[in-house]
Amino acid sequence: MQPFAAIDFETANGQRSSVCSIGIVWVNNGKLIDSFYSLIHPIPNYYSHWCTAVHGLSKCDTENAPAFDKIWTTLESRLHGIPLIAHNSPFDEGCLRSAHQTFGLDYPEYSFFCTYRLSRKLYPQLPNHQLHTVSEYCGYSLNKHHHALADAEACAHIMTHMLKENQTDSPQSLYQKIIYKKQ
């Protein structure tokens, strides 16, 4: 199996640039080989009641956390050239793009693949396709839902399960087989 990284962001408020935590899991040959988690000082720096209710983070948790640009400079080279996986990837890719724009960083064209979208095609029998439901179906127990690292780990497990189940070696080939197949 080819390498990939599962990524998850949590946000402080309704603005995608307000990333307040990040979790990344690197997978190679179907095995988790490394992980990263950090709180992030969000911009804009305010927390909506709804976001805090989801992930439990508040301004006091991230007041002294590093800004996104400081964190990303340490991660960027480790993500270069490998696909990024997220459950509901438009959200996480939107966060990444917005944070890059906020800090005036050049945005490399990352290849994003969505386990939510794949799960809707592969597992139509599930009652819903939320991360915890799909991860449980794929044999992974998600204990800290909405913690960025826990969610990234669940997403990595889901993608690994899907790749093995469909006898494919990369997210790109799985998308080709499941999403882009001729109807």
DSSP string across 72-98: HHHHHHHHTTS-EEETTHHHHHHHHHH
Nearest to 72 by CA among 44, 107, 34: 107
Domains present along the chain, CATH in parentheses: 4-178 (3.30.420.10)
Cα–Cα–Cα angle for 67, 69, 75, rounded to 5 degrees: 115
Amino acid 181: pLDDT = 76
100-138 tens-digit pLDDT: 999 999 998 899 999 999 999 999 999 999 999 999 999
Q: Is the pLDDT of residue 183 over 80?
A: no
Q: State yes or no: cis peptide before 44, omega within 30 of 0.
A: yes
- Model pTM? 0.95
Please give the Cα distance from 109 to 5 (Å, whole number). 15
Please give the Cα distance from 41 to 62 (Å, whole number). 5
